[in-house]
Structure 1
């Protein structure tokens, strides 16, 4: 199972930079068949003439942060500074348009970045790597077209996903070749999906077009996630209030039943609202956890008032609530999670960013918010004995 933890670490106010550390982890059981490195095939179907720069960054099994070169050799970052100091150039030349290139990736948990036309600006603080945070207008990468995939390679195999948790930008898809020669892939947009996504945001009332970021010349670079939109003021903080109020009103007089584990159908929790709090009880009637009425920030980030600790009770309930709020299924189904995508995003008040992304994916799957894996709707490939990982830079048309 893929677990995802987002932590924002502020650097000094003078630098006005934000570090985002994402950790992905898979099962810990050993599998000697997984070598120290595996090939990663990069294919450039973007149709763009810009030079591509690739970065393989992450945390090694022994806990060191660093980067890998094209041969898969890991290099630990040197000590950083305050203010942050420039990181070593970890870029790998990517394939030209219409071409492919194979590099090797080592056992890491981290990200594979790619940028068009310009190298990314990475810095090092005393606490580690400062990754791009383009929700900050002063971030040096603000006007660079780039994106990233998340991956974990360990003794149990590979987990590789496309992600839009932080932003929707340059299109790409991911894949893995299995030992039997077959390939699993995900993350590919439908024809016209890239431009169609931005058109959908522009057409959506309620301020959703404010998520779109452009260069000074008007070139579209990305759309921020709703979480960053709310945090920066690009999206109104009250954007989910009407739905939140209706949910709180409904479950003041009805029960919300949460069955968080698909393989444990008898593990159920029962939610009822009292004032500003939704209390959850177990089958014995004992209160196991409570949630204060959330806001849009908590919903889009699946954090703060919907925090999900890595436990067996509050975390799984919170994941379920987060998915229900983002997909707007809490009023149409009192039994959660609702895992049928036919029921998602039907309310006028919903996560329209996530809706627009999922509607434009070939297989309907995406990581449009942190717990989009509830019900297995995430864009993830996994294999315990991977022969090759694949990232395809897809067309913008």
Structure 2
């Protein structure tokens, strides 16, 4: 889960790995980063903000006060003693409050409605809110949180639905260039859409938690719902067994690194154990068949150590089981989101949380970043950030950067006059782009928005898996604002991806319809030259 142990690793290290970024040589961004919490929720209650986490320089736990100073928690006791009041008065409906977060901090921004969150301390540190547990003091409070890490490598900020979905909110970061990246926006009435879908399924209905006054406080993620007795503890067991056994007769290939497709492991099941070998045939990992709890938490039999072999395989297996692609796939991870959440029984929570997001990105489980489907924004040189508490009812139906009509321009090869095209005009994440005779359809209409090239309702031109090497395939993926989706059309006509410093290239000088595109060293050759039309 994305708890304290993951604040330091997943947000700081994992985000770099996903985007293939190299750490800058020196600190950038202000010493204290302004993060604005804005309230468009439509609710009248007083909002309180708590910024809690870890000082990365000392490893100490504490909170950030209204002035941006990190304050270490005092010693706790058994039974737990009340923690100092860490609340910052938040914005009223229609207002905004800015908090300052010092560089070298990793943690959470909590926001609660109606009352401060009560925290307590043990000798081991802070007791985190656990409203799914009986008797927890936050049980009847409407609250939620975002997660962040701010260090010398920049800012990582994400919304989280790993434990629950409660308060609709989006996260944004603005860099030194003035570009703003945003994720986490819900479609119109998205919160109610999630609630209604789960209530309609008898197996999931009790995961919707309602206060005595009728307020829906939260929808519990499946692991938390199961631990509270609100979802069958064995809900996924039948599917897991079937998926696991599928590889007794065929091989599963795992390619855990998007920027290193040559790294692959092959797995076969014997009994209840799936064993993986590397390309030399040496066994490198073995996993016992997991339980439903192991899949919901990406732990237990699927524990992912912070290494370069077992951990990446475990992450990929957990993502495949959570999304329901394991058993029918031969290669993981599957990158076509249209294939997700089709297993029997279905993972309704994972499906409806993603469906309710404008950009279809969410953190519905700990490793939703496998394949870059997570609701994360990052900037190496941030200047400000935002958390927007968005409407509980109503809301936006489209990303503001996405026109509702097929506008945009064609990207035409100066070499052969063909156009950059989405095959079949099917805007499915993971579809590899091609060259095709120019026809003026929506599949060839590219919109330059914030450094990205958008096509269709919500897709962007993307270097697959954040790859930066020669030969990295170029595809479309749900727009996220990450560096793999940034492109610069130079005056010379090169379409350059700044993250890799490589150019969009027609592979193998193929002049036919259907020719594929990839990244390659910028050489100024005709198959790398483009114009808008």
TM-score bin (small chain):
over 0.9
Could you tell me which of 301, 309, 314 is aligned with 1:318?
A: 314
Gap runs ≥5 in structure 2: 17-22, 394-533
After superposition, where does 1:70-89 map in structure 2 within 5 Å?
70-89=66-85
Q: Does 1:280 align with 2:276?
A: yes
Q: 1:330 aligns with which of 310, 315, 326?
A: 326
Offset of 1:292 from its aligned partner? 0.6
- Whether contact under 8 Å (1:291, 1:306) holds in the other structure is yes
Q: Report the Cα distance in structure 1 between the residues aligned to 2:188 and 2:102, rounded to whole angstroms.
A: 33
Aligned residue in 2 for 1:146: 143
Q: Which residue of 2 aligns with 1:300?
A: 296
After superposition, the C-alpha distances for 1:103-133 in whole angstroms (9 at most, x for unaligned) are 2111210000000001101001111111101
Q: 2:130 aligned with 1:133, yes or no?
A: yes
CA contact (8 A) 1:162 1:379 kept: yes
**Do structure 1's residue 367 and structure 2's residue 363 form an aligned pair?**
yes
Out of 263, 282, 291, the position equivalent to 1:267 is: 263
Q: Name the CA distance, whole Å, in 2 between partners of 1:341 and 1:317.
A: 20
Deviations 1:132-165 (A, max 9, x none): 0111120000000000000000111100000000
Distance 1:149 1:189 in 2: 15
Provide the residue aligned with 1:167 in structure 2: 164
Would you say the 8 A contact 1:34–1:154 is kept in 2? Answer: no
> Which runs of structure 2 are paired with 1:53-64 in the superposition (5 Å)?
53-61=48-56, 62-64=58-60
4+ long deviations beyond 6 Å: none
Q: Find the partner of 2:354 among 339, 346, 358.
A: 358
Give a deviation string over 1:31-53, Cα, whole Å, max 9, x none. 32222211111111001100000
Which residue of the other structure, out of 228, 236, 243, is the alignment partner of 1:240?
Answer: 236
CA contact (8 A) 1:173 1:393 kept: yes
State the alpha-carbon separation in 1 of the partners of residues 170 and 306 from structure 2: 29
Q: Is the partner of 2:248 in helix, strand or coil?
A: coil
Contact 1:115 1:147 (8 Å CA) reproduced = yes
RMSD across aligned C-alpha pairs, in angstroms?
A: 1.5
Superposition deviation, residue 21 in structure 1 = 7.8
Q: Which structure is larger by alpha-carbon Rg, 1 or 2?
A: 2
> Which residue does the alignment assign to 1:389?
385
CA–CA separation in structure 2 for the residues paired with 1:182 and 1:284? 45
The DSSP-based 3-state class of the residue aligned with 1:194 is helix
Say if 2:38 and 2:389, in contact at 8 Å, map to a contact too: yes
TM-score, with normalisation over the residues of structure 1?
Answer: 0.93
- The alpha carbon displacement at 1:204 in A equals 2.2
1:187 is aligned to 184
Q: Is the 8 A contact 1:70 1:105 kept in 2?
A: no
| Counterparts in 2 of 1:146 and 1:390: CA distance versus 1, 3 Å | same
What residue is the counterpart of 1:219 in the other structure?
A: 215
Could you state the TM-score of these two structures normalised by the residue count of structure 2?
A: 0.70
| Rounded Cα–Cα distance in structure 2 between residues aligned with 1:338 and 1:157 | 29
Deviates more, 1:241-250 or 1:26-35: 26-35
Secondary structure of the 1:147 match is: strand
CA contact (8 A) 2:113 2:141 kept: yes
1:105 corresponds to: 101
- Output aligned runs, 1:29-48, within 5 Å: 30-48=25-43
The count of corresponding residues between Structure 1 and Structure 2 is 381
Answering whether residue 12 of structure 2 is matched by residue 25 of structure 1, we say yes
Match of 1:49, SS state, is: coil
Secondary structure at the counterpart of residue 375 of structure 1: coil
